[in-house]
Homo-oligomer: A and B are copies of this chain.
Amino acid sequence: MSKDKVIALLTDFGLDDSYVGTMKAVIANINPGAYVIDLCHGIRPQDVIGGAFLLGSSYKFFPEGAIFIAVVDPGVGGERKIVCVQTRKYIFLAPDNGILESILAREETLTIVEVSNAEYFLPDVSSTFHGRDVFAPVAAHLSLGVKPARLGESLKGLRRLDLPRPETSADGVVTGEVIYEDRFGNLITNIDRNVIGGTESRILSVAIGNRKIDKLSTSYQDGRPGEPVALFGSSGHLEVAVNGGSASKLLNCSRGDGVTVAFEKSH
């Protein structure tokens, strides 16, 4: 079997309702051979930043040619555009609200177009569920070989998202914040390996909530049960976790809370 194309779905629709299932129905109706992978539907409702983070830390594991639908879309039915971004290996469909920020930061964009050609939409487009009426059918047509340029006019750029960015003080202390909290209560920060550029081994301490963690670990196992550990996790971001527990609960921290990293002096 050679599967035609992967279509990856990232939404804040959850799985309790039939929104995601209906999108898959629409795709199957247009391209029965598309292989739909649920990247994630558990983004907090309307949390564009969380969506941008998960997309940015996951997309590169997909096969070349994958088409991503990223719908966290508080502006559905309003004036925000829908955009299609082509990079060397992938195609992304999303509302123009910054959710592709983490892709723009990592990939060269070859084409950006506004998705406006209703020829590729469902016949009746609702004003509340573009996932079903626009995103799903457009992705299915792309998976059949339709070129992004057919979807609408070329755009010069996208709306940017003001992602919280870490700051480095004069004495080298890096201050960031928690941008994602996962099911295990791991607190993932916006401080990634690039931010600290190879200085990982000189980290003296990581402060979060009322706690100061005095060393950098390499795995959750490094901590004694119930104790917080700080480490660079699978997304390449600094995270705080608790061996056998929830850092979020132990430290009473969540999205937006500050994190401070101090370093040994370099010589």
Given A128-B220, A234-B132: A18 and B77 within 8 A (CB)?
no
Contact B127 A218 (CB under 8 A): yes
**B residues within 8 A CB of A244?**
46, 74
Interface 9-residue window, one of A32-40, A97-105, A146-154, A207-215: A32-40
Q: Mark A29-58, 1 if CB is under 8 A from B, else 0.
A: 100110101111110011000000010011
Of residues 1 to 36 in A, which have CB atoms within 8 Å of B's CB atoms? 1-4, 6, 8, 10, 13-22, 24-26, 28-29, 32-33, 35
Of residues 212 to 242 in A, which have CB atoms within 8 Å of B's CB atoms? 218-222, 231, 233-234, 241
**B residues within 8 A CB of A21?**
8, 10, 37-40, 58
**B residues within 8 A CB of A184?**
45
A76 at the interface (CB under 8 A from B): yes
A63 at the interface (CB under 8 A from B): yes
Contact A77 B221 (CB under 8 A): yes
Of residues 48 to 94 in A, which have CB atoms within 8 Å of B's CB atoms? 54, 57-58, 61-63, 66, 74-79
Chain A's interface size range is 35 or more
Contact A37 B42 (CB under 8 A): no
Contact A219 B76 (CB under 8 A): yes
A265 at the interface (CB under 8 A from B): no
Given A39-B18, A183-B14, A221-B76: A25 and B231 within 8 A (CB)?
no
Contact A63 B32 (CB under 8 A): yes
Give residues in A with beta carbon < 8 Å to B. Answer: 1-4, 6, 8, 10, 13-22, 24-26, 28-29, 32-33, 35, 37-42, 45-46, 54, 57-58, 61-63, 66, 74-79, 126-129, 132-133, 182-184, 218-222, 231, 233-234, 241, 244
Instruction: List 21 contacting pairs A-B, 8 Å CB cutoff, sorted by A.
Output: A1-B2, A6-B28, A8-B25, A14-B42, A15-B41, A15-B42, A16-B40, A16-B42, A16-B183, A18-B54, A19-B182, A21-B40, A21-B58, A28-B35, A28-B63, A32-B63, A76-B219, A76-B220, A77-B220, A126-B233, A129-B233
